[in-house]
């Protein structure tokens, strides 16, 4: 439906009565400006954490199906309360659960994937001039159970609804003014980016930028949904995440080589020493990790070139997964006589920019900048628009600053966020 916008508010934007009423006023203002409005809300403030704590009081390994039943209540509460606030402002509003909104998912509880959006009920409500509030982060499985989409799932709900109803735009309201050229807590003069392409945003989200959830950006790219990531505390424009063509048009004056520096402090390196020279070992290792739900990021295999040297396989995993990786690999290591080493003190710094595709010298500059700071690069991975370096976690901040300066990413129009960079909403 042209003339329709999806507005998504994170948990901090509805945390208490006054913030929730402010969100309601913004929603009503949008409607009064003539647009049809679908709203996606997260659970209020620390509500999801409270529910998780309740579950942990009961069980050390709560059943995933029941976790979904439990956690899905948080967003429903937000939506019902917001509907009340909008009604009091003289507009019709209706809250819908993920199931009522037609979000159909697979049956992978706590990390379900959206299979289909049957938006008939939303369309009918919009036709009746209602503002529609949808509980984010949740859906109904093909087995008719309540499912949740995993961390950051409300962003994905918003983008999926925008795609299904053909909305003009998906606005993600958050506690920062937009996407920045680096984390402003590390680089105080980081620049707010006006426009980012889907591909750049994907790389940034995957390499540590917390402001938008990775899957929501993937979904937006695949369905061509324009995202406007902006502050819930003021009316200033934030960051538009759009197709590369549109980004080029908008950004023509600047056309920067590099868009942003991102980072992560939570990496761990796992090294397998003394791999036998038989085919299929790497395959067994990665299969074991996949079965344990451990995502591998970078991977390096060293073939011994001198006689008697041992073959090594190293890879990085999120630090939280390092114990799971060790448990998954222990049987293979014991069987094949492999030594297993882990180092949980790793970090990662990345530069992202569509402009680097046609500039082969970027990698060399990154390495020399980090070298000049005497920061040891442990591993490297690249994509056409990203270069990532694993560095010691305690060197991450220094690396981000050095790269941001070297690539001249600061801007005069920098807006300093009042709150920390990167709300991870439900």
Least distance from C-beta 46 to a second copy, angstroms? 14
User: Which residues touch 280 (CB under 8 Å, ≥6 apart)?
Assistant: none
Nearest to a second copy of 4, 141 (CB atom): 141
3-state helix, strand, coil in the chain (%, to 5): 40, 25, 35
Looking at the DSSP bridge assignments, the partners of residue 9 are 41, 173
Nearest to a second copy of 81, 289 (CB atom): 81
Least distance from C-beta 44 to a second copy, angstroms? 9
**Terminal alpha carbon distance of the chain:** 27
Residues 382 and 326 sit within 8 Å (Cβ to Cβ): no
Q: Which long-range contacts (CB under 8 A, 24 or more apart) does 398-402 make?
A: 398/373, 399/263, 399/349, 399/370, 399/373, 399/375, 400/182, 400/183, 400/186, 400/187, 400/261, 400/263, 400/349, 401/186, 401/187, 402/369, 402/370, 402/372, 402/373, 402/375
Nearest to a second copy of 43, 346 (CB atom): 43
Nearest to a second copy of 69, 380 (CB atom): 69
DSSP letter string over 241-305? EE-HHHHHHHHTTT--S--EEEEEEEEEEEEEEEE-S-TTHHHHHHHHHHHTTPPP--EEEE---
Nearest to a second copy of 148, 216 (CB atom): 148
User: Which residues touch 51 (CB under 8 Å, ≥6 apart)?
Assistant: 43, 70, 71, 73, 74
Least distance from C-beta 7 to a second copy, angstroms? 18
Nearest to a second copy of 132, 242 (CB atom): 132
Nearest to a second copy of 123, 386 (CB atom): 123
- The strand pair at 311-318 and 299-302 is best described as antiparallel
Question: E strands along 25-117, which residues?
Answer: 36-41, 93-96, 103-105, 114-117
Q: Which residues are at the interface with a second copy (CB under 8 A)?
A: 17, 20-21, 51, 54-55, 57-63, 65-67, 69-70, 72-73, 76-77, 79-81, 83-85, 87-88, 93-95, 97, 100, 121, 144, 146
Our CA angle for 414, 416, 422, nearest 5°, is 110
Nearest to a second copy of 61, 305 (CB atom): 61
Least distance from C-beta 17 to a second copy, angstroms? 4
Least distance from C-beta 95 to a second copy, angstroms? 5
Nearest to a second copy of 100, 410 (CB atom): 100
Least distance from C-beta 27 to a second copy, angstroms? 14
Least distance from C-beta 92 to a second copy, angstroms? 10
Least distance from C-beta 208 to a second copy, angstroms? 33
Nearest to a second copy of 87, 381 (CB atom): 87
Least distance from C-beta 69 to a second copy, angstroms? 4
Least distance from C-beta 97 to a second copy, angstroms? 8
Residues 134 and 121 sit within 8 Å (Cβ to Cβ): no
Q: Write out the two tokens for 396.
A: 């991450």
d(CA 132, CA 262): 35
Closest of 220, 182, 186 to residue 8, by C-alpha: 220
- The CA R_g of the chain, rounded to the nearest whole Å, is 23
Q: Write out the two tokens for 308.
A: 């008697």
Question: What ranges in 166-271 are assigned the alpha helix state H?
Answer: 198-206, 214-223, 244-251
Least distance from C-beta 12 to a second copy, angstroms? 17
Nearest to a second copy of 57, 291 (CB atom): 57
């Amino acid at each position: 439906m042209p003339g329709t916008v999806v507005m998504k508010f994170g948990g901090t934007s509805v945390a208490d009565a006054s913030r929730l009423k402010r969100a309601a006023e913004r929603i009503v203002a949008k409607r009064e400006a003539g647009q049809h409005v679908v709203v996606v809300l997260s659970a209020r403030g620390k509500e999801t954490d409270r529910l998780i704590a309740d579950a942990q009081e009961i069980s050390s390994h709560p059943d995933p199906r029941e976790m979904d039943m439990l956690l899905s209540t948080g967003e429903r509460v937000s939506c019902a309360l917001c509907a009340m606030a909008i009604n009091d402002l003289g507009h019709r509003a209706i809250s819908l659960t993920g199931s009522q909104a037609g979000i159909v998912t697979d049956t992978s509880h706590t990390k379900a994937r959206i299979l289909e959006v049957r938006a008939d009920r939303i369309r009918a409500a919009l036709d009746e001039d209602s503002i529609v509030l949808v509980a984010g982060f949740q859906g109904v499985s093909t087995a008719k159970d309540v499912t949740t989409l995993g961390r950051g799932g409300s962003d994905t709900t918003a983008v999926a609804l925008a795609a299904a109803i053909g909305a003009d735009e998906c606005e993600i309201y958050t506690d920062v003014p937009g996407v920045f050229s680096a984390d402003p807590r590390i680089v105080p003069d980081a620049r707010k980016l006006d426009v980012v392409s889907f591909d750049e945003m994907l790389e940034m989200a995957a390499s540590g930028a917390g402001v938008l959830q990775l899957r929501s950006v993937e979904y937006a790219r695949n369905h061509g949904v324009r995202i406007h990531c902006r502050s819930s505390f003021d009316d200033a424009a934030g960051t538009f995440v759009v197709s590369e063509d549109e980004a080029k048009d908008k950004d023509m004056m600047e056309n920067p080589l590099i868009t942003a520096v991102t980072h992560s402090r939570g990496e761990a390196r796992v090294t397998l020493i003394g791999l036998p020279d038989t085919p299929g070992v790497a395959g067994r290792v990665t299969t074991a990790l996949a079965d344990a739900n451990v995502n591998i990021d970078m991977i390096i295999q060293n073939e011994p070139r001198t006689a008697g040297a041992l073959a090594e396989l190293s890879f990085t995993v999120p630090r939280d997964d390092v114990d799971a990786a060790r448990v998954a690999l222990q049987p293979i290591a014991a069987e094949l006589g492999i030594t297993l080493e882990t180092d949980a003190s790793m970090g990662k710094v990345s530069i992202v920019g569509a402009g680097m595709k046609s500039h082969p010298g970027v990698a060399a500059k990154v390495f020399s900048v980090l070298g000049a700071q005497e920061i040891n690069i442990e591993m490297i991975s690249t994509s056409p628009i990203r270069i990532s370096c694993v560095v010691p976690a305690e060197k991450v901040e220094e690396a981000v600053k050095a790269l941001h300066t070297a690539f001249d990413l600061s801007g005069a129009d920098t807006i300093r966020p009042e709150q920390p960079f990167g709300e991870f909403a439900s």
